[in-house]
Structure 1
Amino acid sequence: MLRFFQFSLLSLFLIMISPSALQAQLLNVESVRSDADSAGWYGQLNFNLSLSQYNDRVLQFTNKANLSYFSDHHAYLFLNNLKLVNLDGASVISSGYSHLRSTFNRENRFSPEVFFQYQYNNNLGLQNRFLGGTGFRYTLFDGDNWTGSFSTGLMAEYEQWQEDRAPAIDNRFIKSTSNLSLRGNLNSQTTFLLIGYYQARPNQFFQARSILETQLQVKITQRISLSVQFSAAYDADPVIDIPNWTYELSNGLIIKL
């Protein structure tokens, strides 16, 4: 056990994440959904740590935690993400989310879902975002190595935005939310995930917030994997003056509990 923790701590300092632009605004649930085959508890920790020294010293830390419970018929997921960036001893960026999702009749091709989320992103000017919704998940195919699914539903969203000293902006929306995902095994050590999200108000369906994400996981040991992830997001009508396009490229360490 001691060797395991020593190896984990050493890996955290050795794995470096690349400089990235703004964090994607959408929570990608499918990228951390457990693919457990039996009932029980499942957990996953993901650590990213970067330390660079040029004119300034920059320390960036990201932690993701996934705790899931699978009963014989249903699935319950609790997800957390925290990102901190420290520039010469001062915190300059802080962002995170908490997400709770329940999937009912998980073994069926058609599975109803409910979800709730809290999110903030100081880098984007997002002070608070609360949302809750319901929908369904439809399994398109489920083979030995590849799985595809489609999800759609409705959600209520409340946002608070504020950029620098500008007046705060509060929004309340009803939105549709849909995603299409593909997950597969490239070989016995490598898994691949591709997912696309689309969120829009019904009266402005073609002015959407969308995201495309790919993730590659390479197994190092039975419980430790290396993750490489790229996300690109597009918001057709940003609330405040931020870029329409944002992206992030990162890699990190995943520990399965």
Structure 2
Amino acid sequence: MKFFLVAVFICLSHAGISQILNLQSSKIEKDSSLIKGNMTASFSMYNRSAAANEPVEFLGASFKSSIAIFPKNARLSLINDFSYLEINEDAFLNTGFQHLRFSIFENRRMHPEAFVQFQYDNFRGLFPRWIGGLGIRNDFIKRKNFSFFFSPGIMWEYEAWLIPGTEKQMKVSFIKSTNYIGFRWDVNDYIDINTINYYQTTYDPEEELWRNRYSIELNINSKITEKLGINNSFTLSYEDEPIVPITQTIYNFTAGVNYKF
């Protein structure tokens, strides 16, 4: 029963994040403003137990933000995503990332982009993950209501994983191929849909195997007012050869309110 309540609360409080960032859902469209951004936040408290002598108390919070600065012919984006879940005053889930991305010549169909990212996920034993890389984005179709894009790239990744059941860490560092493909569709003035698919791979010479990571995210956004909206998101990611023995497939569904400024 307790595990069922935990699962329900995780869904309600948006706890848990995807392993890979959805760039398109976080991307802010350029206009005459120098700085633009949006934020999504939630806070929840929950108390329910099957017996009086077994109290179960939940505390959850999540915060997402995306801020973009538009110098001439360029874009600097800072994206944040944090989730926290506490059960009976013990931290149960604590995940998050900070992503910084710089791109130039976005008015061209093909343009370079560089990125760095810091990430952690205490429930899965990841702390930290550092990423830095370069890519070439190709806006193959770029219309007012629809865009289709893809990007091949290369990145350096450092990870430190806690081996399950021990206090030991497994630290690894790889050069990886990182690639994404996706689209964004403004169905009408009130609804837009975007999705992105990632594939990242590298060869591990010590283990003599390829390590592959796949991820997909789908977002459906509904506008209530010019600044207020509702976001529904589903993510699914899979690693065929995780560094330590953890669940290979993870998924997450969230629904929240979004405020733009």
Higher relative CO (Cα under 8 Å, sequence separation at least 6) belongs to: 1
Q: Given that residues 178 and 198 in structure 1 are in contact (C-alpha distance below 8 angstroms), is that contact kept between their aligned partners in structure 2?
A: yes
Runs of 4+ with deviation above 4 angstroms: 19-22, 202-206
| CA deviations over 1:2-49 (Å, ceiling 9, x no partner) | xxxxxxxxxxxxxx9447785321122222011224452111101133
1:251 and 2:245 correspond: no
Q: Which residue of 2 aligns with 1:192?
A: 193
Deviation at residue 94 of structure 1 after TM alignment: 0.8
Residue in structure 2 matched with residue 9 of structure 1 by the alignment: none
Q: Distance in 1 between matches of 2:240 and 2:44?
A: 31
Q: What residue is the counterpart of 2:121 in the other structure?
A: 121
TM-score calculated relative to the size of structure 2: 0.86
Aligned to 2:170: 169
Asked if 2 retains the 8 angstrom alpha-carbon contact of 1:17 and 1:49, the reply is no
Contact 1:17/1:252, CA 8 A, preserved across alignment: no
Hey, what's the Cα distance between the residues in 2 that align with 1:21 and 1:256? 22
Calculate percent identity across the aligned residue pairs: 26
Find the counterpart in structure 2 of residue 181 from structure 1: 182
Q: What is the rounded CA distance, in whole Å, between the counterparts of 1:193 and 1:180 in structure 2?
A: 11
Pair 1:26-2:20 in alignment: yes
Task: Provide, for residues 213-235 of structure 1, a one-character-per-residue CA deviation record: whole Å limited to 9, x for no partner.
Answer: 00011111111111110000001
For 2:46, the equivalent position in structure 1 comes to: 52
- The answer as to whether partners of 1:196 and 1:211 remain within 8 angstroms in 2 is yes
Aligned ranges 1:1-257 → 2 under 5 Å: 17-18=11-12, 23-38=17-32, 40-55=34-49, 56-162=56-162, 163-201=164-202, 207-257=211-261
Give the partner amino acid of 1:87. I
CA distance in 2, matches of 1:144, 1:23: 30
Of 86-95 and 189-198, the range deviating more from structure 2: 86-95
Q: How far apart, in 1, do the equivalents of 2:62 and 2:15 lie? A: 14
Secondary structure, in 3 states, of the residue corresponding to 1:36?
A: coil
Whether the aligned pair in 2 keeps the contact of 1:39 and 1:72 (CA below 8 Å) is no
Structure 1 residues 178 and 222, CA gap change in structure 2 (3 angstroms): same
SS at match of 2:25: helix
Scaled by the length of structure 1, the TM-score of the pair is 0.87
- Take 1:199 and 1:143, find their aligned partners in 2: how far apart are those partners? 28
Contact 2:28 2:36 in 1 (8 A): yes
C-alpha contact (below 8 Å) 2:99/2:118 kept by paired residues: yes
Q: Helix, strand or coil for the counterpart of 1:30? A: helix
SS at match of 1:201: strand
CA distance in 1, matches of 2:245, 2:108: 44
In structure 2, what is the Cα distance between the partners aligned to 1:220 and 1:250? 18
CA distance in 2, matches of 1:42, 1:86: 32
Structure 2 unaligned regions, length at least 5: 1-9, 50-55
Shift of 1:57: 2.3
Aligned AA for 1:217? N
Q: Is the 8 A contact 2:15 2:84 kept in 1?
A: no
